Amino acid sequence: MTKGTVLIVDDDVDQARMLADTLRVEYEHVIAISTPERIKETLRRKDVDVVIMESNYRSEIRNGNEGLYWLKEILAYDDAISVVILTTSVDTDLAVRAIKEGAVDFILKPWERNRLVTTVSTAIQLRFSRLEASSLKADNSQLKKVINNGREKIVQGASPTMINVMNIVRKVAGTDANVLITGENGTGKELIAREIHRQSARSAELMVSVDMGSIAESLIESELFGHVRGAFTDAREERKGKFETAHNGTLFLDEIGNLSLPAQSKLLNVLQNRQIVKVGSNRPVPVNIRLICATNCDIMSMVREGTFREDLLYRINTITIEVPPLRDRVDDIPVLARHFLKIFSERYGRTGLKISLLALEKLANHDWPGNVRELQHTIEKAVIMSEGDTLRPSDFSFAHSSGRTLRTEMTLDEMEKRLIAESLRRHCNNISIVADRLGITRQTLYNKIAKYNL
């Protein structure tokens, strides 16, 4: 016997009995009632998969409205139930109307056993498919909530520069405008992107992040747009790209300045047409995404130098948000330090750990070349290594020289290191461009990068 529950609603008692006897051989539970007024009560008592019902019931006016009325009532109670209509050849128009209203099929009277069994079998499989799809949708929705809620949220500091940034975020979030976030490494550009997504109308959907600097040139098209089976040697199955995964949500492209010119051209085409074509396919797939990009490069310099397309820049920076470095938002350091202290003291079982005012002063006087990320790691290290219940200045050490007093004298090596580091940052680590601008060979540049550990 097949798993499932069938409800028969027929005011012809003899016909209802014959239907029930036939179907009880096939299904675990078969219920027969003679009046539609008992439908809701039966649905509340039993999980019904298929309802077989008359297109019409005995009343003063037999025009089919009774059957359509009860069909709507059933689907309003549970729209995954499969409803099959019993009708005569003269009432097929009613059956067609019922299917338009949500019934899955109809059976002509007098009914034939094989036709009945086949129709009910199809209807019950449809019911199970609907339930499975509903369950997957619910699981997917819950997964999206877990993914979106599990991310670290931004901490708004007290500095005027960050207050201004957060004001822009609030204004932009309610729109679908493309956003370009600029700033040094470690300033929290991805957190700004996540805050925009969190405050947007797309917040219930996924935000998909892609680090463009970590993807090999040969894989960028497949990574962003997906591929079909057999598109290349290792393409053993079809795969969604990041654009398709982010459909109806937000796509965050980090380090956008690392894209090559050919890849920029393909990205521009997708943004213009709002559709992607998977590698190995000719079929366009519409995509609906909100695009946020980020970079630590000087994009305008790259446009002038011809390494970044001007038309793509205009596509991605409807709104530009510049995240200031931590050295320019000293007022935020105590807020961030205490935030990270709370996180790591709980993580490492050091609850109750505090930070002294002298320690906060030392942190405020550091220039933080690694920005918020460096501060986060510094607090974590101090929590792990410190003793006692208060973090003191001696608990903090820095990889780079600290202090805001500018040195008026530098060695040639120090000047050279700073010049190369700044040029690498400005040109997004493009060795050829940096070597050309500095007037040295690529090999010499490689040697100096190794020498200064850049």
109-123 pLDDT, tens digit per residue, is: 888 899 899 999 999
Residue the block writes with tokens 């510049």: 322
In the prediction, which pLDDT does 339 show? 93
> What pLDDT sits at residue 407?
44
DSSP state of 98: H
**Residue 69 pLDDT > 50, yes or no?**
yes
284-286 vs 354-355, strand pairing mode: unpaired
8 A C-beta contact, residue 42 and residue 7 = yes
Quickly state the pLDDT bin for 157 (edges 50, 70, 90): confident
Q: What is the pLDDT of residues 326-343, one digit of tens each?
A: 999 988 999 999 999 999
Strands (E), 183-249: 207-211, 226-227, 239-240
Best CATH choice for the domain 2-132 from the list 3.90.1300.10, 3.90.1150.10, 3.40.50.2300, 3.40.1110.10: 3.40.50.2300
Q: Considering only CA atoms, give the Rg of the chain.
A: 33
- Average pLDDT of span 41-50: 90
**Is 410 a residue whose pLDDT tops 70?**
no
Q: What angle do CA 168, 172, 173 make, to 5 degrees?
A: 115
| Mean pLDDT for the chain overall | 86
Is 69 strand, coil or helix? helix
pLDDT tens digits, 261-303: 999 999 999 999 999 999 888 888 999 999 999 999 889 989 9
Give me the pLDDT at residue 452, please.
Answer: 83
Instruction: Determine the Cα–Cα distance for residues 195 and 169; give it in Å rounded to an integer.
Output: 7
9-18, 215-224, 235-244, 409-418: range with lowest mean pLDDT: 409-418
CATH topology match: 2-132 vs 160-322: yes
Q: In the beta sheet, which residues pair with residue 30?
A: 6
**Distance from the Cα of residue 57 to its chain's centroid:** 50
Fold of 160-322: Rossmann fold (3.40.50)
Which H or E run includes 435?
helix 431-438
Q: Characterize the bridge pairing of strands 179-182 and 319-322.
A: parallel
Tell me the domain boundaries of the chain: 2-132, 160-322, 326-395, 412-451
Average pLDDT over residues 242-249: 92
54 close to 11: Cβ distance less than 8 angstroms: yes
Q: Report angle CA 373, 375, 376 to the nearest 5 degrees.
A: 65
Residue 408 confidence (pLDDT) above 50: no
Q: Which fold has domain 326-395?
A: Helicase, Ruva Protein; domain 3 (1.10.8)
Extract the tokens encoding 69: 């009325």
* Residue 192 CA: distances (Å) to CA of 185, 254, 384: 13, 12, 28
Q: Answer whether CATH 1.10.12 is correct for domain 412-451.
A: no
